[in-house]
Amino acid sequence: MTANPVAKAFLILIVVAQFAVRGHAQQADPQFEALASRATEARNQQNIPLAIELYGETVAAKPDWAEGWFYIGLLQYSSNSFTAAIDAFNHFLKLQPDAGPALALRGLSEFETGAYDDALRDLEQGVKKRAAEEPRNEQIIRFHLSELLVRAGRFEEAVTQYDFFAAHHIKDPDLLVNLGLAGLRIQDLPQNIPLENRQFLETVGSAAYAYLSGDNEEARKQFDELFARNPATPNLHFFYGSLLYKNSPTLAIEQFRAEVEHSPGNVFAHAVLAFRLTIAGRYAEAKPEAEIALAADPDIEMAQIALGRALAETGDVKRTTEVLNKVLQKDPKNLEAHMGLADLYSRAGRREDAYRERMVCLGLAQ
Amino acid sequence: MSAWFALAWLNSLRILRALTGAGALGLLLCALFSGLQVSAASSNPATKPPACVNCHAGITASYSHAAMQHALEPPGSDPVLEAHPNLSVQQGKYLYIVQTRNGHSTYSVSDGTNTISVPIRWIFGQHSQTFVLERDGDMFESMVSYFQLEQRLGPTPGDGNIVPRDLSEALGRKITVWEALQCFSCHATDASKGEKLELDKLRPGVGCERCHVGADQHMADAVRGNFSSLPKSLRALNAEDAGDFCGQCHRTWDATVRNHFHGPSNVRFQPYRLENSRCYVGNDPRISCLACHDPHEQDNHNLISYDAKCLACHGKTAASSTSAVKSCPVSKTNCASCHMPKVSLPGGHVVFTDHFIRIARPGDPYPD
């Protein structure tokens, strides 16, 4: 779905309102001010071609006039001239690099031109710089962001965007398809999905949406139906487990286990199962799962940590430190690895080493 | 089994224990007693099903006074509310009243015009108490709690910043099913099956089975003379495992760190605090939760009684694992009063002993 006009209009109104206040203070030259006033008037009268032309003249006369560049970008965006919008926002952002709304608008424009990596970067920056603080802006920004996150393979972060949609009861077929893609860990955009696959993805998204909306019973019912009809679909159990994890680690682990039973080749699911079992203190069960994952992919960090922690329980200092230090070589600030070492040393009676590792953990957890 | 019989049985146990090994004796007595049960049951079909008290009378008797047994008080028999039948507090524009009459407690909130009243169904805590309420199928944590320190109602810890928009919201903080599961799983027994709440079946407080997993099976087997399914002994847990075990409810070190629980509120998470202590090490039973606390007994508030636990490492004759263990230059008594200072929770209604053992100087900030 592209940005729908209504949502776009709201976005524009809100950023204009924020921006206009700052804009006037910068005007001094009477001739320039007259030109700027004409541009503003054209814009207010919805004469977009004329407004773009006049704003173009203002920035030609005064290339450091940020407001002019902003409105050119905004008007080009609302005219679906996305490449021109990006160009204008590029100028604007050189002058005001921290302007969240402009970053978000450039990101939305980039999305429309298919520059997805750039769009993701700009939308994330825009959100960080408070472009999504108004609910209607947030809706359109998070919608595109969630799609881009799925495309980038950042599925968990994509699902996180849906907390907002569920809280505001915002539901849309494309939203659900995208949620289905995130859940089944398919790196793609909803608009690329063939019609015959959309229904299934939408159903998966709908089950997840029910859960995110707090309707646990409905979610369970929908997922159970999905499991019954599609027992071999990769990541379906995994998705439900991921949703459940925050509230019910035990139920989540059951789903992760179901996933590896149905899809024994799902290495990531083995690693996650191992890791979650470790956090639940079920080390003996975690160890074989971690070993399966590591046999397929020796560098998978979650499985390394799970194996390390499971080994710590057995008191195998040498092998545990080997495994956990391997994690720390790549990521010296890995909290879980340091926690594993603290546990290991504590169990082994190495008081000072355990204390040191615990203090490292407390520092990392600040 | 009547009380006098339990007492006599206990006395017999003490004498016999002095004569023989306790482990073998336990089995012998249980076998003997299970025989009595079977014969009693066969002669009287209406006999109650077996219970832990049948064989473990002493522990059961002492546990009946322990805090964990009273983690949830049943409505109608709560001594705190019975002793304070008319409690009220004004919170902003809302007046809260907790009234107890004829064994029934009611929680009301009023804005001066309208009032919502609901029966108190679940009372969390033995001394300071928070109520869990039910209204229109939803569960709520009461917006006000009873605090023993002041013997009055006050804002429920953690909910003090909530500004209710209307009378309904003023009743309490709505809790999700998941949250309720967590609350009841630590304050009651058999409150859920799997992950489904079954509050009509719950037994208030932390029952034997909650810690001694398999106790039900053990009882069922024991009455048939089978003692092969004894629950795993928790006595043998090392300090690390004990912290993890007790931490299921009191929060483990891992969980506290992982969830970034910062600030004085984490003084409630004793395993976390203890494991931050320099003297803590997981394989030393002298620093285990169980070294100082018998979960089957009431909390001992006499700090001097804990001195021996500290001196087990810090005394001159202590068999310490390293030579670096220091002895206190100030005192050899009342150790916990200095090294485990009291910390008030934000709001000041409840005071906890900080289990982070350290040299604590007056005025030092709370060490996270």
The 10 Å Cβ neighbour count of residue B76 is 15
d(CA B120, CA B153): 15
Residue B288 contacts A where some CB pair is shorter than 8 Å: no
The token pair that represents B359 in the structure block: 């040299």
Which residues on B lie below 8 Å from A251 (Cβ)? Answer: 194-195
Residue B323 contacts A where some CB pair is shorter than 8 Å: no
Residue with tokens 């006369």: A61
The token pair that represents B47 in the structure block: 């006999």
Q: Tell me the C-alpha to C-alpha distance, in Å, between residue B164 and each of A167, B158, B235, B359.
A: 19, 14, 47, 43
Q: Tell me which residue in A347, A351, A365 faces B260 most closely, judged by beta carbons.
A: A365
Find the residue in A nearest to B367 (Cα): A362
CATH code for the domain of A23: 1.25.40.10
pLDDT grade, residue A28 (50/70/90)?
A: low
- Amino acid A231 reads P
Q: Do B238 and A354 touch (CB under 8 A)?
A: no
How far does A251 lie from chain B, in Å, by closest CA?
A: 7
pLDDT at B323: 55
The count of CB pairs under 8 A between chains A and B is 62
A303-308: long-range pairs with CB below 8 Å, 24+: A303/A270, A303/A271, A303/A274, A303/A275, A304/A337, A305/A275, A305/A278, A305/A334, A305/A336, A305/A337, A305/A340, A306/A271, A306/A274, A306/A275, A306/A277, A306/A278, A307/A274, A308/A337, A308/A340, A308/A344
Q: For the residues A302-324, what does the mean pLDDT come to?
A: 93
The token pair that represents A189 in the structure block: 């955009």
Per-domain residue ranges of chain B: 3-70+206-222, 72-197, 246-353
User: Is A363 domain-assigned?
Assistant: yes
Q: Tell me which residue in B194, B240, B279 faces A347 most closely, judged by beta carbons.
A: B240
Q: Do A351 and B281 touch (CB under 8 A)?
A: yes
Residues A1 and A148 in one domain: yes
Residue B94's SS3 state is strand
Q: What is the ipTM of this complex?
A: 0.82
Alpha helices in chain B (DSSP H): 3-19, 22-43, 57-63, 79-83, 167-171, 177-187, 208-211, 215-222, 239-250, 253-258, 270-275, 289-292, 307-314, 335-339
DSSP track, A172-185 = -HHHHHHHHHHHTT
User: Is A174 domain-assigned?
Assistant: no
Which percentage of chain A shows pLDDT scores above 70? Answer: 92
H or E element in which residue A275 lies: helix A267-279
Find the residue in B nearest to A252 (Cα): B195
pLDDT at A314: 84
d(CA A2, CA A8): 10
Cβ-in-10-Å burial (0-12, 13-18, 19+) of A326 comes to: middle
**pLDDT tens digits for B25-79?**
333 333 333 333 333 333 444 456 678 998 999 999 999 999 999 999 988 778 9
Q: Which residues contact A66 (CB under 8 A, 6 or more apart)?
A: A23, A26, A92, A95, A96
Residue B232 contacts A where some CB pair is shorter than 8 Å: no
Which residues on B lie below 8 Å from A347 (Cβ)? Answer: 238, 240, 282-283
B165 vs A315, residue with greater confidence: B165
Contact B293, B274 (CB under 8 A): no
**Is A16 a residue whose pLDDT tops 90?**
no
The 10 Å Cβ neighbour count of residue A300 is 20
Q: Do A279 and B258 touch (CB under 8 A)?
A: yes
Q: Is residue B84 left, alpha or beta, with left meaning phi > 0 and alpha meaning psi from -120 to 50?
A: beta
DSSP track, B15-45 = HHHHHS-HHHHHHHHHHHHHHHHHHHHHH-T
Q: Do A347 and B244 touch (CB under 8 A)?
A: no
B26 vs A325, residue with greater confidence: A325
Domain that holds residue A331: 266-366
pTM for this prediction: 0.81
**Is A70 a residue whose pLDDT tops 90?**
yes
pLDDT at A43: 95
Contact A313, A290 (CB under 8 A): no
**Is A160 a residue whose pLDDT tops 50?**
yes
Residue B89's SS3 state is strand
Under an 8 Å CB criterion, which residues of A touch B? 214, 216, 247-248, 250-251, 279, 281, 335, 339, 343, 346-351, 354-355, 358, 361-362, 365-366
Residue B131's SS3 state is strand
Which residues on A lie below 8 Å from B184 (Cβ)? Answer: none
- Amino acid B37 reads Q
pLDDT at B47: 54
pLDDT grade, residue A69 (50/70/90)?
A: very high
Q: Kindly provide the b/e burial profile for residues B81-104, where b requires at least 16 CB atoms within 10 angstroms of the residue's own CB.
A: beebeebebebeebbbbbbbeeee
Cβ-in-10-Å burial (0-12, 13-18, 19+) of A194 comes to: exposed
pLDDT at A15: 53
Residues A139 and A274 in one domain: no
Stretches in chain B below the pLDDT threshold 70: 1-49, 316-324
Which residues on A lie below 8 Å from B254 (Cβ)? Answer: 279, 339, 343
Residue B321 contacts A where some CB pair is shorter than 8 Å: yes
pLDDT at A137: 87
Provide the number of structural domains found in chain A. Answer: 2
Q: Tell me the C-alpha to C-alpha distance, in Å, between residue A325 and each of A329, A339, A356.
A: 6, 12, 15
pLDDT at B37: 36
Closest to B223 in 3D by CA, of B34, B2, B25 = B34
Cβ-in-10-Å burial (0-12, 13-18, 19+) of B79 comes to: exposed
Residue B326 contacts A where some CB pair is shorter than 8 Å: no
Average pLDDT value for chain A: 92
Residues A147 and A276 in one domain: no
User: Is A139 domain-assigned?
Assistant: yes
pLDDT at B32: 34
**Is A22 a residue whose pLDDT tops 50?**
no
Residues A282 and A146 in one domain: no
